[in-house]
Amino acid sequence: MNTKKTELNEIKEQIDNRLESFFTYDERDPLRGYADAMRYSLLAGGKRIRAILLLEFCRMCGGDPEKAMDAACGLEMLHAYSLIHDDLPCMDNDDLRRGKPTNHIVYGECVATLAGDALQAEAFRTILRSPLPASARLRCAELLADAVGIEGMCGGQYLDMQGEGHTLTTELLDAINVRKTGALICAACAMGVAAAGGTREQEEAAMAFGRCIGMAFQIRDDMLDVLSTAEELGKPIGSDQAEQKNTYMALLGEEKCAAEVERLTEEAKQVLHAQFAETAVLEQFADSLVSRRS
């Protein structure tokens, strides 16, 4: 058995177990239905990529991953919020997410919107109330806010919407995805360093790793929308092409996309070697994202 893969599975299980403890309300509580909608998307599965990155960078910098667990869970709350809102009828209008009906299909558009709103706020509260030192909590919250706002994920979503109906260059597509997908992955890596009290040089290296992995992840995502199956992907395939979205597959084709994913993954691993020790777990994690089918 691959011990590194087992270690990653164990980390994911720890994250999932901790997430199960959030937003549990008694059946008689009038907010129970609201909390259920939040938990529906938060606990709907997923690879926990961002949380794993945070915890592994914390470990590599000599920190205590147990104390960073709530920061990792806050990151997953933020990610869950973004997926709920991405799926809404006014955005991507998706009916399936990870093989299950999307939040607004189950709970209605208004409740889904509110569930996303609360998860965003709870993400920061969870980080700021974590057992990390005050300086680490503050830095993690700052990094996450930078990654989510107008210069980050939300700005990337806006640019993506503005680009609909237009043929974009690779440079413009990069500008969208470095914000929409990459910013949160970069933040996850840097937050792990911050949680451990690492140096700014380590933070910068972690962000460089995150930029490479984030872009590779997005290109692979575009490939899977064409090459995967609905069963593997957990949602309909071919939707990007049907909706005439700007994707790397449309611009570059499969062969160039595959080569770019490999190049970015190797670059990411070289960044790790230059600044950190004991990088085997993250190297395997990076490789697993290259070959993923979902």
Query: pTM of the entire structure?
Result: 0.93
Confidence of residue 45 (pLDDT cuts 50, 70, 90): confident
* HSE (side-chain half, CA atoms, 13 Å) at 83: 24
The stretch 10-30 carries a mean pLDDT of: 96
* Ranges of each domain in the chain: 3-291
The stretch 125-143 carries a mean pLDDT of: 98
Structure tokens at 32: 């129970």
Dmax (CA) for the chain in angstroms is 56
> Lowest-pLDDT range, 35-44, 61-70, 206-215, 236-245?
236-245
Task: Note whether 232 and 294 are within 8 A (CB).
Answer: yes
Sort residue 205 into left (φ over 0), alpha (ψ -120 to 50) or beta.
Answer: alpha
Question: Where in the chain does DSSP place strands (E)?
Answer: 96-97, 100-101
- pLDDT mean across residues, the chain: 92
Q: Return the pLDDT at 7.
A: 86
Confidence of residue 1 (pLDDT cuts 50, 70, 90): very low
How many Å apart are CA 229 and CA 237, to the nearest integer?
6
pLDDT for 79-127, tens place per residue?
Answer: 999 999 999 999 989 999 988 999 999 999 999 999 999 999 999 999 9
pLDDT for 170-182, tens place per residue?
Answer: 999 999 999 999 9
**CATH fold group of domain 3-291:** Farnesyl Diphosphate Synthase (1.10.600)
Whether 191 shows a pLDDT value over 60: the answer reads yes
Cα–chain center distance at 51: 8
Whether 265 shows a pLDDT value over 50: the answer reads yes
